[in-house]
Each structure stands twice: as structure tokens, then as C-alpha cells.
Amino acid sequence: MKRETQPCMTLCSIITLMWSSIFYKKTLEFSYTTNIGGETPLYIASWRGYHDLVAVILKLCKSPPPDGGPDGSTALHGAVIFISQGCTRKSVDLNKSLAMETDENGYSPLHYDALFGDYPFMASQLLDADNSVAYLVDNDKNIALHIGVSRGDYHLARKLILSCPDCSEMVNGRRQNILHIALAYKDDFMVECILKNCRGISSLMTQKDEDGNTPLHLMATSNLKVRELIKHAMTDKAALNKQHFTPLDMVAEEHGDLWWALKNARSKSGLQKVMSNRQDKRKRTTEKEDWVAEEKERLAEIRKAFDINMIVAALIAAVTLAAGFTVPGGYNQSGTTSPVLGMAVLSGKPAFPAFMVSDTMALLLSCVAIFLNFWGSWMDTVETIEKFAIVTTRIVTAFSTAIYVVLAQSSALAIATCVVGVISIPISFLLCFRLGHVSL
């Protein structure tokens, strides 16, 4: 399919060129006009890549035809923007001064090649026409090399550095050189390219931008670690910027790889950083003292709450213990041989079992509350915890056995009450030793 269509495409191109030539010969008087977009025929032919038509227009016109486009651009601008090598070559060969023309933004064709292209041959054509184009600055004081470095175009950067060495020492509107720009964009490969090919590298390393930062300062903030830059003899490792910070002061991760690399290269902290560290240390000390004072005050409030809770829990334990031994209604004391002698008078009532179970649970929970208050406020040794566990289990055992005697006639209730009390014994020991182990 390709073999069949290729001759047709070639034939169409030839026919188009022939008709364009004939039409242009007949309309030379209109060749200087522009369309509604401000584009001349020569400009349109250039950015569309019709290099043969460009040659025809330039050949047929007795005087140089206007080649303007929008925003003050020229036909050569259009050819470079749309990467038309043929049109670029034709335009440069017939009018070399076009290489030095700039648009309203101050961009020369070489600026656009640095901005849009990755083709070293176009830069070579423009430099061959006039290598001073490499020194033209745009409205932001950028030369083409600055733009190429910011885009990471290594081929263009190397070409311009080797062809026009002096342009590598020029600075942009922020007084940044190409080494500043490469480090600001965190491009370690571009940094290596500059270090390898730039002959004026010594002056680049010590140059400061509008903020007083050397390239080493920007390397510190970008967190790149370019050993060649750190170890270079001309690198000023103690340089201060306008904030009085050295490169070591500006490393984001203190005691990281980059920090140690600068430290080993004899980079030091500035006075501003030292004073800042002292102030931070003093501030941390003051904050710690305030925290300790607040913590003591908080613990004092908690201790007061513990004391109140302890009193309440002890009263509940005392009341429930007394209620268990002196049951409501008293005990049956009539007769000496009665089977209910010594038993609770109200033991036959339906609510009596509920009272006994509730009283038992109240005693157990109050003992737990007392234990937790002891542990949170005074307990600090295993022996203290063991003694408290033993005392608690003795109280619960005495209460459970006494209740069992009182409820002998109601075996189910007596057994249930004893089971609750007995189960609480191992749980009490386990809880005591567990908390004692954690606290120690």
C-alpha cells in the first residue's frame, strides 16, 4: 500500500508546487499582504514546511518579501517552531540576518529551538548563520542556553557551551547562571554535563543569585548529592546567602547522606543557624518545664479524684458486706430445734434471691474499684499487689461462705452466690499480677 501511495504523494507535491509557482508569479503585487491573523505567504509556507515554495517565493521577489507572522515573529521563527529543517536552511541561506530577529517576547529562532526542539542540527544551522545569536536575551533576560538547561536538553546545552563558551557565564533575570538553573530543576545529569564541558566552571560555582545563593546552596535545598560539585576545590562551602545561611544550614534532612557529605567536605554552619539552634533548644527546655508543671498539676487533680473514689468504694464495700450478714428482716430465732433456726426470715420471698445476688456483685465490684484506685495511686511493687490480692480474696471468701450458711435451705441460690465469689478469686490474682507486671 505504501509503495502505491508514495508516487501519488510525490506527484501531488510537485503539482502543488507548480501551481503555487504559477499563481505566485501572477500575484506578485499581492505577495506583501497578510491574512487576518497577520501572516504573510512566506511565513505560512515556512511553518507548514513547504521549503521548496519558500525557495520559489524568495527567488521570484525582486526585493526581500515581508516574512512577518503574529507577535512580531518571522518566517524563520515559524520554521523552527514547527521543526522544518528544510525551511530553516533555505531561510538562513538566503538571509542570514533572520537568525538575529526577535519577536515581541524577545525570542530569537534559537530561543524557540531551545524551547520546543530536541534537534541539534537546527541549532547548528542558526549558529552557522551568526553565532552571536547565542548571546541574545529575551524579555526575561534568558538566553537560549538558559532555556535549554531548564528543559534538560543536554545536546543543545553541550552544543552551545562548546560553540560559544562565554555564554555559559551569562546570568538570567534572577542573576542565576546555568549551574543554578540545573540545580533548581534538580537535574543531576545536566549538572554533570556542565561540570564536564564548561571551561569557566570555577566562576559559576562561586557566583551568587539575587538571594545570595551559590549553586551549592541550591544543591542543598534540592536534596541532590553531586559529589563532583561538593569536592571541587573552587566550591565555597562556607558561603553565606542573604539570610546568613551556609549550604550546610539549608539541608532539609539533618544528619542525612547529603548533610554528612557536606560536613565531611568541611562545610560549617553559619552564625544564624547556630543562634537559631540555641533558641530552639532554649524553647524546647522551656516547653518541657511547662509540660512538667502541667503534668504535676494534672496528677495532683487525679490523686484528689482517686481519694474521693477510694472513700466512696470503701463505703460501698462496707455497706454491702454488712447487708450480707445482717439481711433485711433478720434471722429466725424462735425455737431451738426448728429446721429454719438461724435462717433468714425473708428467704422465702421471691425478691430475696435478687437481693443476695445484687449484694454479692456490689461487694465484688467495690473491691475491684478499691484495687484499681490503689494500683493507680500507691502501688509500685509486686509485694504490695500480692498483699492486696490476698486481702481481697479473704474478704470475698468470708462473705461467700457466710452467705452459703445463711442460705443453706435454698441450695441453688447459695451455690450461685459461692460460685460468683470463688470465680472472682483467680480473676483477682490474674488482674493483680498482670497490672503489677505492666507497671514494673
Split at pLDDT 50, 70, 90, the class of 402 is: confident
Q: Give the H/E segment covering residue 231.
A: helix 227-231
Label residues 396-434 b or e (16+ Cβ within 10 Å = b): beebbeebbebbeebeebbebbbebbeebbeebbebbee
The residue among 307 and 196 whose pLDDT is bigger is 196
Q: How many other C-beta atoms are found inside a 10 Å radius of the C-beta of residue 28?
A: 13
The interaxial angle of helices 188-197 and 154-163, nearest 10 deg, is 20
Phi, psi of 193 (to 5 degrees): -60, -45
CA quadruple 167, 169, 172, 175: dihedral, nearest 10: -170
**C-alpha span between 193 and 262 (Å, rounded):** 22
Residue 69 identity: G
Residue 29 has pLDDT above 60, yes or no: no
Taking only the tens place, the pLDDT of each residue in 231-247 is 775 777 778 888 888 87
Q: What is the mean pLDDT of residues 145-165?
A: 93
Q: Which residues have CB under 8 Å from 64's CB, separation 6+?
A: 58, 95
Taking only the tens place, the pLDDT of each residue in 246-300 is 877 777 555 456 555 665 555 555 555 555 555 556 566 666 767 777 777 777 7
Q: What is the mean pLDDT of residues 339-344?
A: 64
Q: Of 41-50, 209-218, 277-286, 360-369, where does mean pLDDT reach its minimum? A: 277-286
Split at pLDDT 50, 70, 90, the class of 132 is: very high
The residue assigned the cell 490480692 is: 389
Q: Which three cell numbers stand for residue 327?
A: 439481711
Q: Where are the alpha helices (DSSP H) in 236-381?
A: 257-264, 271-325, 351-377
Question: What sign does the dihedral 343-345-351-357 (CA atoms) show?
Answer: negative
Residue 25 has pLDDT above 60, yes or no: no
Q: How many other C-beta atoms are found inside a 10 Å radius of the C-beta of residue 207?
A: 18
Q: What is the mean pLDDT of residues 413-432?
A: 67
How much is the pLDDT for 145? 95
Residue 183 has pLDDT above 50, yes or no: yes
Q: Of 106-110, 136-140, 215-219, where does mean pLDDT reach its minimum? A: 215-219
The residue among 381 and 326 whose pLDDT is bigger is 326
pTM of the model: 0.54
How much is the pLDDT for 17? 44
The percent of residues above 90 in pLDDT, for the chain, comes to 18
Mean pLDDT of the chain: 72
How much is the pLDDT for 73? 74
Question: What sign does the dihedral 371-377-383-387 (CA atoms) show?
Answer: negative
How much is the pLDDT for 284? 63
Question: What sign does the dihedral 54-55-59-63 (CA atoms) show?
Answer: positive
Taking only the tens place, the pLDDT of each residue in 184-217 is 998 989 999 999 998 888 889 889 999 999 988 8
The residue among 112 and 438 whose pLDDT is bigger is 112
Residue 86 has pLDDT above 70, yes or no: yes
**C-alpha span between 89 and 132 (Å, rounded):** 18
Burial class (CB in 10 A: 0-12, 13-18, 19+), 204: buried
Indicate left, alpha or beta for 186 from its phi (over 0: left) and psi (-120 to 50: alpha): left
DSSP string, 4-39: HHHHHHHHHHHHHHHHHHHHHHHTGGGTT---TTS-
